[in-house]
């Protein structure tokens, strides 16, 4: 009696069927060194379960956003005995939710009711374009709301008299600025914290696990900083705006005082070209505020690194 396990053999067409990859893709992976060559049996090429498993690994990594070049490095590390578990854990930590909010479903009738009861197809289409709403395939006019908080803000603004078109325009502008802050935060945390894990070769399981732990610890810092800076800026500008509207004269708060600053003529002309002569002061003020916020984020990260360095000193 033969107790040896039966080895499954696949033709390339069978492998394509089971993996979901096209025959052309399978051959391209072989040419790039991502997939081992098949076994030659007579005049036929035969693939095994190992080839099917490798194709599924590649598909999973592609879904996670890896390039084929990166996948090749990861698979070479795997073949050399270095596991992918830690790396995939790090990817899962980054890909996971960055908020405690849970998406909810909402019918078109419920949406219309929240916004005054008057259907507005254009507003719904714009909300879908912005990602505030997502259509649920096969369920008619049912939508997924990824951020109920964001929708609630829109409802309150609309109830206060702000047109939906103005709310959408504000969200587009706000999103661009928030994405800049997120990119800046990632740049300096990568430079000061994660650079040691992002060398020429994939990190070990231990290094990847350590990096995943850092992601969990640093994740809330950007939002905490933005919350604090937004509260400060809202108080500053709301106070200034109210005083101007009520005709109370210049604010007595030192932070509200203005001061003349000399700028090079070339700089002034460049700014005027961008925003017009009437918006130069506002543009310069906003640029300075953004730089102050960036330096604040740098300072927070620097303090965090210094604290860790002291704690690790033997």
Instruction: In the chain, count H helices and then E strands.
Output: 12, 5
The pLDDT score that the predictor gives to residue 89 is 66
pLDDT tens digits for range 59-117: 888 887 778 887 887 777 666 655 556 666 676 677 667 788 888 999 999 999 999 88
Which pLDDT score, from 0 to 100, does residue 45 have? 87
- Please give the span between the terminal C-alpha atoms of the chain, in angstroms, as a whole number: 63
Question: Which stretches of 105-204 are DSSP H helices?
Answer: 108-114, 121-130, 148-159, 164-189
Residue 26, burial from CB neighbour count under 10 angstroms (0-12, 13-18, 19+): buried
Beta carbons of 183 and 196 less than 8 angstroms apart? no
Question: Are the beta carbons of 15 and 51 closer than 8 angstroms?
Answer: yes
Q: How far apart are CA 75 and CA 129, in angstroms?
A: 37
Bridge partner list, 46: 39
Could you tell me if 12 and 45 are in contact, meaning their C-beta atoms sit under 8 angstroms apart? yes
- Position 5 scores a pLDDT of 44
Position 111 scores a pLDDT of 94
Residues of the chain under the 70 pLDDT cut? 1-8, 77-89, 91-92, 95-96, 200-202, 248-261, 271, 275, 278, 280, 297, 299-314
Tell me whether strands 142-145 and 39-41 are parallel, antiparallel or unpaired: unpaired
Domain made up of 12-81: CATH architecture? Orthogonal Bundle (1.10)
Residue with tokens 């003529």: 265
CB 101 within 8 A of CB 144: no
Euclidean distance between CA atoms 243 and 231, whole angstroms: 18
Distance of alpha carbon 229 from its chain centroid, rounded? 21
Beta bridge partner(s), residue 296: none
- According to DSSP, residue 200 is labeled S
pLDDT of 200 reads 67
List Cα–Cα distances, 209 to 16, 71, 81, 84, 216, in angstroms: 34, 19, 17, 11, 11
80 burial level (CB within 10 Å; 0-12, 13-18, 19+)? exposed
Q: Can you tell me the distance from the alpha carbon of 212 to that of 91, in angstroms, rounded to the nearest whole number?
A: 8
Q: What are the sequence ranges of the domains in the chain?
A: 12-81, 171-312
């Amino acid at each position: 009696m033969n107790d040896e396990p039966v080895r499954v053999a696949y033709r390339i067409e069978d492998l394509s069927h089971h993996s979901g990859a096209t025959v052309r893709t399978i051959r391209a992976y072989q040419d790039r060194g991502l997939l081992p060559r098949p076994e030659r049996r007579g005049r036929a090429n035969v693939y095994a379960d190992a080839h099917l498993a490798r194709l599924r690994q590649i598909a999973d990594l592609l879904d996670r956003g890896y390039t084929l070049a990166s996948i090749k490095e990861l698979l070479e590390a795997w073949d050399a005995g270095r596991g992918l578990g830690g790396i995939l854990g790090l990817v899962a930590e980054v890909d996971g939710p960055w908020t405690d909010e849970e998406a909810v479903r909402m019918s078109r009738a419920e949406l219309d009711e929240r916004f005054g009861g008057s259907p507005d197809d254009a507003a719904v289409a714009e909300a879908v374009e912005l990602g505030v709403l997502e259509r649920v395939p096969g369920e008619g006019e049912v939508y997924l709301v990824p951020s109920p908080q964001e929708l609630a803000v829109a409802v309150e603004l609309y109830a206060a008299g702000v047109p939906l078109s103005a709310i959408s325009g504000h969200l587009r502008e706000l999103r661009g600025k928030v994405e800049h802050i997120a990119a800046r935060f990632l740049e300096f945390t990568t430079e000061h914290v994660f650079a040691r894990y992002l060398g020429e070769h994939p990190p070990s399981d231990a290094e990847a696990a350590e990096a995943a732990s850092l992601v969990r610890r640093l994740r809330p810092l950007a939002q905490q900083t933005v919350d604090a800076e937004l509260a400060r800026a809202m108080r500053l500008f709301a106070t200034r705006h109210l005083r101007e509207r009520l005709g109370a004269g210049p604010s007595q708060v030192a932070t509200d005082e203005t001061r003349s600053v000399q700028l090079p003529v070339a700089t002034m002309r460049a700014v005027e070209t961008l925003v017009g002569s009437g918006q130069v002061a506002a543009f310069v003020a906003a640029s300075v505020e953004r730089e102050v916020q960036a330096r604040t984020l740098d300072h927070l990260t620097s303090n965090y690194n210094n604290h860790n360095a002291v704690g690790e000193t033997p």
